[in-house]
Amino acid sequence: MFIPLTPENLWFPEFTEPKRGLVLLGDKKPCKITKIGTIRCDMHDGIERVLEEVRFVPCLKRNLISFSEFEKNECV
């Protein structure tokens, strides 16, 4: 299962704070998950899509949201 990750704090109007949780990056560096929530994405066609259980990982430099995750949630 792919879990969407983002360093974008402003995307989380509603969230929960996990008791614990780490993401292990490719360089074996652990990064703490500080929030879990639902985000809304404005797509190029003007429709707003929703992804649930997205993890906020402040040390990431880029979003890790896969196309297959959008497909699974009927966002494409």
pLDDT in tens, 9-60: 666 677 788 888 898 888 999 999 988 888 877 777 888 778 888 888 888 8
User: How would you classify residue 11: left for phi > 0, otherwise alpha for psi between -120 and 50, otherwise beta?
Assistant: alpha
3-class SS of residue 25: coil
Query: In the Cβ-directed half-sphere of 33, how many Cα atoms lie within 13 Å?
Result: 21
23 vs 18, 57, 61, CA distance in Å?
13, 8, 13
First-to-last alpha carbon distance for the chain, in angstroms, is 18
pLDDT in tens, 18-31: 888 898 888 999 99
Per domain, the residue ranges of the chain are 5-72
Q: 48 or 74, which is more confident?
A: 48
- The predicted structure's pLDDT at residue 30: 92
Compute φ and ψ for 41, nearest 5 degrees. -115, 125
Confidence of residue 7 (pLDDT cuts 50, 70, 90): low
